[in-house]
Structure 1
Amino acid sequence: MSGDGSQYVGQQILGAGLVIAIDGPSGAGKSTIARLSAAELGTNFLDTGAMYRALTWYALRQGADLNDPSALAMLAYSIPMQVEAFAHAPRILIEGRDVTRLLRGEEVNRAVSQVSAVPGVREQMIARQRQIIQAAKASGRGIVAEGRDITTVVAPDADVKILLTASPQVREQRRARQQGAGSDSVAARDFADSQVNNFTTPAPGVELLDSSDLDEQETMEAVVAIVGRAFQARQG
């Protein structure tokens, strides 16, 4: 725990089943900050990008034609994937096998953008993500979910919605340190992402958090503070 403030927020939201959605551009630190925040708050954690990576890994192992959208959509529908949404040890299993550590290899890096861009794939993955989020909400535990379209498409009705960003220079440095991030630059990813989502201006109801001058701990604490304020406002 980082301190009394964070502990207090975690105690406040206990049993409330809050859905906290975090999106943002490449290199902003969404996965790390979402996982740390979930651990601090005592909620579940969902890395939606890891699900697309798992599907890509499976498609490659199955010898699927990555240029066949219908085949990829069918694979997304039928993939025997289990997501364990625990903040301290999140895992993805396929056919009972833990593949979490296999999802950041260069082969997956090269193919994941192509696979995740298929509309039929996104439809199936979003349906699975919503099921995970709804289950966490219904259990009372709640969840911190992150992804590039989490606040606008997957969970637009989330209790707390945050756009996490940082300057291009800071994000480039962070991405360079990220294991399995791939070789494409932040500028290239920003251009590709801009065709689908706007990561410069938060949508209505989404709070902007610029972490350019914050370390991981400070950013996590800022997320927890946002959650605390949102919960208090809802209670009031």
Structure 2
Amino acid sequence: MTLVVAIDGPSGSGKSSVSRAVARELGLAYLDTGAMYRAATWWCLHTGVALDDAVAVAAEVRRLPLAMGVDPSAPAVTVGGTDVSAEIRETRISEAVSKVATNLDVREELRLRQRAAIDAERGADGFAGGRGVVAEGRDITTVVAPDADVRVLLTASEEARLARRALDVHGTADATAVEATRDQVLRRDADDSTVVQFHVAADGVVTVDSSHLDFEQTVRAVLDVVAARA
């Protein structure tokens, strides 16, 4: 049986790290759709296209030579043969990605690629040998993979999400670090909310609130949902 697990949620909810852990636990492939938008942003900056030029950005993304690694232990992202896994997490990308991610033509192009990647992991030649994939991203449960076997909205309080992102980016969750990440987290959520809904679970999507859970507890909560639904 092929299993497709779709995990959605706002910035700082932990969906990437939790999704990777769930994929490792279940022996599935892992697809980070958010990294695809970051890679598209990196590519546009690399090629020098103006991010405010929606038509030019969409055209550039259609030419994006992107390869997504789906090994949850080492999900490399390469563009034109260059590993950009680290660069796409830099602040300059985080600050610019919403301009690319809110471009509707870009979203349509990347959704096609995301669906193709999920379909590929349903086959015997996929990373997990046809066992399936854990795919995560802002619209994965509603637009990209609404027919997934298990759909989860992973959320957390604003306070928890800011602290987690500060710890991830700055290595500390003190007041200064939290404030430094506030704009990056909340502004991107506000920008992306104009084109996709990821704060409220759609019908059939199970909400997991990790505000008061540690990482291992959150992973277990998602695995419990998978066990119950699949």
Answer yes or no: same fold by TM over 0.5: yes
Distance 1:200 1:112, change over 3 A: closer
Aligned to 1:111: 96
Aligned to 2:137: 147
Unaligned 5+ segments in structure 2 are 125-129, 171-179
Equivalent position to 1:178, from 168, 171, 178? 168
Equivalent position to 1:130, from 111, 115, 122? 115
Contact 2:139 2:197 in 1 (8 A): no
Distance 1:194 1:95 in 2: 30
Distance 1:51 1:182 in 2: 21
Report how many aligned residue pairs link the two structures.
Answer: 216
Superposed structure 1 runs of 4+ greater than 2 Å apart? 178-183, 185-201
Q: Deviations over 1:80-128 (max 9, x none)?
A: 1111111110011111111111111122122111011111111111111
Distance 1:186 1:53 in 2: 14
Distance 1:168 1:106 in 2: 20
The amino acid of 2:150's aligned partner reads: V
Indicate the SS of the match to 2:122.
helix
Aligned to 2:69: 84
Distance 1:136 1:33 in 2: 19
Contact 1:23 1:149 in 2 (8 A): yes
Aligned to 2:106: 121
| 2:20 matches 1:35 | yes
Deviates more, 1:125-134 or 1:179-188: 179-188
Aligned to 1:168: 158
Aligned to 2:175: none
Distance 2:205 2:100 in 1: 28
Aligned to 1:101: 86
Contact 1:109 1:182 in 2 (8 A): no
Distance 2:63 2:196 in 1: 27
Deviates more, 1:173-182 or 1:129-138: 173-182
The CA deviation at 1:188 is 3.3
The amino acid of 2:195's aligned partner reads: V
Provide the aligned C-alpha RMSD in A: 1.7
Indicate the SS of the match to 2:143.
helix
Distance 2:56 2:65 in 1: 15
Aligned to 1:13: none
Aligned to 1:48: 33
The amino acid of 1:204's aligned partner reads: D
Q: Deviations over 1:164-214 (max 9, x none)?
A: 011111111112112289551544344334333444431101001011111
State the TM-score, normalizing by the size of structure 1: 0.86
